Structure 1
Amino acid sequence: MKKIITLRATVVAALLATGSAAWATDGYFPHGYGMKSKGMGGAAVAVTDNAFAGINNPAASVWAGNRAEIGVDIFMPKRSAARVSPNTSPLLEGDVQSDGSAFIVPEFAYNRKIDDRMSWGVTVYGNGGMNTEYPGGNVTCSADGGMTTYQGNLLCGQGKLGVDLMQLIIAPTLAYKLNEQHSVGMSPLLVMQQFKATGLHAFTSTAPGQQMSMNPSNVTDKGADRSTGVGVRLGYLGQLSDTLKFGATYSPKIKMGKFDKYSGLFAGEGSFDIPENFALGINVQVTPAVSVAADYSRINYSGVSAIGNPMSNLAAGNPMGSANGPGFGWSDVNVLKLGVQWQATSTMLLRAGYNQSTNPVKSENVTFNILAPGVITQHYTFGGTYALSKDSEFTWAYMYAPKHTVTGPSMYNGMMGTTTITETIRMSQQSLGVQYGWKF
């Protein structure tokens, strides 16, 4: 037991040290949790062969047995943004790519039976994140319509431009088997998040008629700020027949403490809650060697003001940081996850999957989303598990998300007296992860 407690502490420390997970896949949630799920397009709600019940479905814990998994994902996103301004060229024009091309994302899960009807466990994971770091000093900007110019970043601030959001969640889990076919579970979600922003000086003016924020001194370059919150995830799992499982899971919006250092940036004086989300899933044993899983999930980003409020709220007289201040303008996201698993040999399982989500970023909100280009809509995944012994295994998973772009009108159109300025944000991704699991 002492060894297990030490291992958990080590994993938590590692997660805290990694900084942002830099996820921006299904919005800013990752496409899956645990390497087995990631190899199947993220499908996991009705799957019981892993210990990640705290995030995938708390009710699955009681079916998973005594087991633990520890893994690491190397996440490799490419983020870029461009602005074209035909009537003011070269003023404001630029095409930049974000630094930071690889991020290490660890994960850990533990599950243990209490008796034949109850189990407990814990999952430690990064819920997601937004990370960009664009170079500065390569865009010609103006504070007076072009009479005088200076070299700034793509949003005409000083130095590098970007944001860094990390969310760490520890999910202890308790599950109960109602009978031989049905179970329920609950996971309290203990959340810590960290945020910082740089290069947003263009939004800090205090001049009469030009002030965009209710608190210009708390918009940018304030260093890392942290907040905490407590939520819950509820789950159900049913063995509907010998070959069919059905699962459902729900997590209401998590009210987080405010980012006080960025009270002039996020709506609600620095509020940044975690959106409500739910999922439904099935798992069909097609043959003794082949199973197919499918999940539908929804993430209600529009219910969080800092994420869902449109940019147009600024023009409507709601300054940044106010209750109705502008946000990223993200729409709610619907996600379909499909995965297949094949017992290729007595020691080798192979997996493949596909994940498709709606794009939360609309063209009219493209300017603010230079900071958070979460526009990915498709993921292709592959993976496998090799049994090292009857009690240990090695799992790997690969994900490829092809480039997706969004182009729209720039908020600088109103400031420059033209309607021809457009901006484009782009993202593509790959990830490769490995995991060691053991039974006890």
Structure 2
Amino acid sequence: MKKTIKLALVAALALGATSAFATNGAALIGTGAKSRGMGGTGIGVSHGAESALANPALITSVKGTEISFGGTIFMPNVKSTNALTGVGGPTGSADSDASMSVIPEVSLASKVNDNFYWGIGMWGTGGMGVDYRGQTAQMEMVTNLQLMQFGVPLVYTTNNFSIGITPILQYGSLDINYVPPAAFAAYSAYSKTKGAGVGQDLQFGYNIGLAYEISDLTIGAVYKSQIDMKYKGVMSNTIDLFSSTQAYANDKLSTPAEIGVGASYKFNEHTVALDYKQIQWSKAKGYEDFEWKDQNVYTFGYEYATTTWAARLGYNYSKSPIEKQTYTGVNSAKLSSGVVNTFNLLGFPGVVQSHMTVGGTYNFNSNTSLDAAYTYAPEVSETMTNFAGNDITVKHSQTSLSLQLNYAF
């Protein structure tokens, strides 16, 4: 059974040949076109079947059974300027070729009786990566992290109060490859391309959600567990960077825990939603070694809905979890500040901060509807000191288009 699920998840991930840069660090701002059209809100506002991950307690808005399936075309634009003159290497700028990926999403929610709802779904939830093959100044860096979650939301509701839990099986895939500068050929360990092939893992986690509805006001809260992923041999064989004495033995790269609250208010055709959540990168294995900071994510969403169509707007802001490291020693993982800066900006530059979104729905009839959303994250530029003692600069912006077909019966 576990092997069958893993094969299904791999097949879904295969829809996206390259990895996605997923806005809030390495996590999507939202799963589903309704949520993404409203800036990623979903903790205190229901989006039907697609609420299973954002807040499972809110799938209770379905009247019978609802099925949603679609995906997001994700288009990051990443450019790096890197100088390796400090170690006798070149200086140059290059655009990453990892510029498009497809992130799938399928959700189902059903009402069993007045007190119990359940569902099932499969969602691409995040990832990151670059492709600098053929670019010497970028050390031909290629990284690719992809994450997919399979979950079954279970909800009990009574007297306007709902509690839900979504047990989650997460599949992850990680690949890191690069060619060290020629100046390090003297070390036999660095005389060839660094890489260990693709590492994969399956691990369990859960989301717990609460919701309370009174009149036209909805209040929600959610906790998402940390999921400890281990990609055997991948990080330990590639991040022992640029010194014969440094060692890095950690192959774990955890999906961080999240905690959040949200609220929405509906008046006539209008709905306004606000969410706040904290993504705890600083406690996630792997990310903590690279000094990622916790992110406080603030989200606003607005919807105007009629019986035949709806329009949505949203805004999402979170400060980048990546900060310039300046310490002269090494951290607990025995990585120097220059190594941390190099891998953060060159390999995993999740630095975008603001996101503007628009979206809408067209109802073909009482059973079938189509959702769409467009997201834009303006360019952010970051400059840090790399392992060679020179500057490394990354510029990163994003656009995405989400489409989703819904059927209710």
What TM-score, normalized to structure 2?
Answer: 0.86
Aligned mate of 2:172, from 193, 213, 227 = 193
1:246–1:283 Cα contact (<8 Å) kept? yes
| Aligned residues: CA RMSD | 2.6
Change (3 A) 1:16 1:190: farther
Summarize the Cα distance change of 1:162–1:204 in structure 2 as closer, same or farther, 3 Å threshold: farther
Does residue 243 (structure 1) correspond to residue 216 (structure 2)? The answer is: yes
Alignment of 1:20-419 (within 5 A): 20-65=18-63, 66-84=65-83, 91-136=89-134, 138=135, 152-155=136-139, 160-177=140-157, 179-201=158-180, 220-239=194-213, 241-265=214-238, 268-285=249-266, 287-309=267-289, 327=290, 329-343=291-305, 345-364=306-325, 365-369=340-344, 370-413=346-389
Could you tell me which runs of 5 or more consecutive residues in structure 1 were left unpaired when the two chains were aligned: 1-8, 139-151, 310-326, 414-420
Query: How far 1:278 moved relative to its partner?
Result: 1.5
Q: Deviation of residue 298 (structure 1)? A: 0.9
Q: What whole-Å deviation, never above 9, does each CA across 1:375-431 have from its counterpart, x for those lacking one?
A: 000000000001000111011000011000111122212xxxxxxx21111110000
Q: Distance in 2 between matches of 1:258 and 1:203?
A: 28
Work out whether residues 235 and 249 of structure 2, in 8 Å CA contact, stay in contact via their aligned partners in 1.
no
Compute the displacement of 1:100 (Å): 2.6
For 2:3, the equivalent position in structure 1 comes to: none
Q: Is the 8 A contact 2:77 2:396 kept in 1?
A: yes
Deviations 1:329-371 (A, max 9, x none): 211111111000002x431100000000111111224311210
1:50 maps to a residue whose letter is: G
User: CA shift at 1:280, angstroms?
Assistant: 0.8
Q: Deviations over 1:71-120 (max 9, x none)?
A: 121111101111247x7699431111100322111111000111110011
- 2:337 is matched with which residue? none
For 1:203 and 1:347, how far apart are their aligned partners in 2?
63
**Percent identity among equivalent residues?**
28
CA deviations on 1:204-249 (whole Å, 9 max, x unpaired) are 97977x979xxx99x933221211110111110111x212111111
Change (3 A) 1:204 1:117: farther
- CA radius of gyration, larger in: 1
**2:55 and 2:181 mapped to 1: Cα distance?**
44
Q: Tell me the CA shift for residue 123 of structure 1.
A: 2.2
Given the alignment of the two structures, is residue 439 of structure 1 paired with residue 408 of structure 2, yes or no? yes
The residue that corresponds to 2:244 in the other structure is none
Deviation at 1:434, TM superposition (A): 1.0
1:220 and 1:12 mapped to 2: Cα distance? 25
SS in 1 for 2:194: coil
Cα pair distance change 1:185/1:422, threshold 3 Å: same
Q: Is the 8 A contact 2:221 2:262 kept in 1?
A: yes
Show the counterpart of 2:394: 425
Cα separation, 2, equivalents of 1:84 and 1:260: 28
Instruction: Give distance in 2, aligned partners of 1:400 and 1:438.
Output: 28
How many Å separate the matches in 2 of 1:118 and 1:249? 19
Aligned length: 379
Would the alpha carbon gap of residues 336 and 191 (structure 1) be closer, same or farther in structure 2, given more than 3 Å must change? Answer: same
Cα distance in 2 for partners of 1:175, 1:70 equals 21
**Counterpart contact for 2:49–2:108, Cα < 8 Å:** yes
| Distance change >3 Å, CA 203–CA 28, structure 1 → 2 | farther
The amino acid that maps onto 1:379 is H
Please, which runs of 5 or more residues in structure 2 have no aligned partner? Answer: 1-6, 240-247, 326-339
Q: Distance in 2 between matches of 1:16 and 1:89?
A: 39
Amino acid at match of 2:362: Y
| 1:151-201 CA-partner distances (Å, limit 9, x unpaired) | x3423xxxx311001111101110000x22100010111011011111144
CA distance in 1, matches of 2:221, 2:256: 17
Contact 2:120–2:153 (CA under 8 A) maintained in structure 1: yes
1:16 to 1:81, Cα distance in 2 relative to 1, 3 A = same
Taking the aligned partners of 2:194 and 2:89, their CA distance within structure 1 comes to 23
CA contact (8 A) 1:236 1:248 kept: yes
CA contact (8 A) 1:48 1:64 kept: no
- Shifted more, 18-27 versus 39-48: the winner is 18-27
